[in-house]
A = this chain, B = another copy of it.
Amino acid sequence: MVVRSLEHPERDAITIDGVLSALADPVRRSIVSQLADGHSEQACIAFDLPVTKSTSTHHFRVLREAGVITQRYRGTAIHNGLRREDLDWRFPGLLDSVLMAG
């Protein structure tokens, strides 16, 4: 059995470039919106997205590597969470303004 761990950038290592690029995609903003809207700690499959599963994997990965979300294995599923505090600490107001925009 392999230890299944997923790499997350440290709080300090989150870049504005990564975050803005990640949030510049409508599918990924939809993920972030749903996370902010109570879907926290849900599996990837629980999100309502207009793309196939493999494309969805890609988007979750981009968000994680940019430092926008956390992903932790729990059985076969993954718990996704928004890195609110880290984002607010790094770029105050950014997440809120994007979430407000719908």
Contact = CB atoms under 8 A, between A and B. Distances in A.
A93 B97 CA distance: 6
A99 to B, nearest CB: 10
A47 to B, nearest CB: 19
Give chain A's interface residue range (CB within 8 Å of chain B): 10 to 19
Contacts of A97: 91-94, 97
Given A24-B24, A94-B97, A97-B97, 20 more contacts: A16-B29, A16-B98, A16-B101, A16-B102, A17-B24, A17-B26, A20-B20, A20-B23, A20-B98, A21-B24, A90-B101, A91-B97, A91-B100, A91-B101, A92-B97, A93-B94, A93-B96, A93-B97, A93-B100, A94-B94
